[in-house]
Structure formats: structure tokens, C-alpha cells
Amino acid sequence: MEADFVDTRKTENIRSAIKQNTKVIFIETPSNPTLNITDIRATAKIAKEAGLLLIVDNTFTSPYLQRPIELGAAVAVHSLTKDLGGHSDLVGGVSVYSREFSENQEYMKRLKRASDDFGANFNPEDAFLALRGLETLSLRVDTKCNSAQAIAEYLNKHDKIEQVFYPGLRSFPQYDLAASQMDKPGGVIWFIMKGGYGAGENLMNNVKLCTLAVSLGSTATLISHPASMTHRIVPREQREKVGIVDGGIRLAVGLEDLEDIIADLDQALDSIETNRSGEKHIVASMQ
């Protein structure tokens, strides 16, 4: 198996990366953690013209906010662990196939073989938890979207924040594209701290309500600093090529009171000296 990684924000990169042995185009939109948006309709057109499968990782939106199959994808992959479950108490995923894919006997034969070999049965307890989560999906996601919009606007005006990336802000580089394929902007915000690594690390060490965790879709607001957490072993130059800079913070908004979330971020930001670079070390809370 071979894979080429390209910046899919520009669909010409996708087209130019197709080779004679290419079988699948796999995209994630919005991307984690930088919230880059890929045009699903345009990518689906490229895939169809080349006779390829388009698979879309739909983790950040769930089918409540974005439905890749309706936009031309062959397969949509959803995380039950995130917003669909919504309570940080199950691990699971689901793949949804387009009618065209499902009617292809060769594809379905291969899927059945993989299912038989590796197992694809959900245990009863997790199935129950997933169904329970679906009952409140709209209430939870709507609340997160509303809160995330307000928090993004707050951060966008803060003097210790260099830049805020959120699909609901007019300043978001791909605002129009996001609005054309997502029903709402979602509950995840990516923002860049002034002061780089040290500022991001200090923010992690000073939040009180927000929980240090690398997941998303929970009832709790989860905050992470990829440079010292999820991507700490990735060389800086490699991280920065994909936008994961030293001062980057990912905030997955939860269901706490909006004023409480903003108050927590406000007090944590107030504790940071923007002219301090800080020493590079793993955040203590990661233990």
C-alpha cells in the first residue's frame, strides 16, 4: 500500500497526485486540528472522473452538520466516540456507503470478508450508549455551535491571541466553502497564541474549568496544545508545514455555561505574559 499526502484545500493538488495505481481518495474535512476545509463536491467529481472511491472522515461534524454522501462521496466515516455518543464513555465508529457503492457486489464481497475476518459487531452496552447519545444529538451540537461562535468572537478580539480559525467567523479563510457544505460551523476552534510554545503551555497550566484532553465531542469543554501534547514527538518543521504551530490551541467546546467557559479562558489568558517564550517541556497535566 502507498499513500501520498497533499494539501486538499486546493483540489488541483488532489488531481495531480492521482497515479495509475490509485484506488482511493481519503479526505478529512474539517481537518484536525487546523480546521482546513476540503471541497467535497469538487473532490467527488475528480474521484468519479478517475474511477476512484472518495472516502470522507466526518469526525469533526457528525452527520448532523455535514453529510458527505449527499455531496458525492462513496463512503462517509463517522466517529461514535465523539458527538454521536457525546459523553466520553464509548469507543466506536460507523461507515456509511452510498447507494452506488452498496450496489457494487465486488465491494460488498470484500467488506463482508473483512468483517468476517476482523469482526464488526458492536457490543450491547456500547450500542445502547450510542443510541442514547443520538437522542440528544441535536440539542448538544446546537448548543456547542452557539457557544463556539461566541467564544470564537471573544478570542478574535483578545490581545493575546494572534489568530482564530473557526468556520463561523467571516475572517475564516474558507468561510464560504464551509457554509456551502456544513449546516453549522461546529464546536471546535483552532487559535494561535502570541508568545508561541511557552504561551500555549502556560494556558494549559492555568485553565480550571476547561479539561486538558485530546478528544472532542464530549459534554465537557476539552482543550489541548498539540505542540506539547498530541504532536510533541513530531519535529517542529514537520508540524509547522501543516499549520500546527507552537502557539496553536485546539478548543472543543462542551455544554458548560457559556459565560463560565469564557470566564475560565479569560482568567487563564490574563495569567500569561505574551513576551515570554518559555522552556520546552511536556505539560505537567498530561500525567
Cβ partners under 8 Å of residue 170, min gap 6: none
Min mean pLDDT across 100-109, 172-181, 212-221 is at 100-109
The CATH homologous superfamily of the domain defined by 137-286 = Aspartate Aminotransferase, domain 1 (3.90.1150.10)
pLDDT digits (tens, 9 = 90+) for 90-113: 999 999 999 999 999 998 999 889
pLDDT at residue 277 above 80? no
The answer to whether the predicted template modeling score (pTM) of the entire model surpasses 0.85 is yes
What pLDDT, on a 0 to 100 scale, did the predictor assign at position 118?
87
Q: Cell numbers 476539552 correspond to what residue?
A: 222
pLDDT at residue 9 above 80? yes
Q: Which three cell numbers stand for residue 51?
A: 474511477
| Domain 11-135 belongs in CATH node 3.40.640.10 | yes
Cβ partners under 8 Å of residue 142, min gap 6: 184
Domain ranges in the chain are 11-135, 137-286
Instruction: Provide the mean pLDDT of the chain.
Output: 93
Mean pLDDT of 124-150: 97
Q: Which three cell numbers stand for residue 257?
A: 455555561
Min mean pLDDT across 76-85, 116-125, 138-147, 213-222 is at 116-125
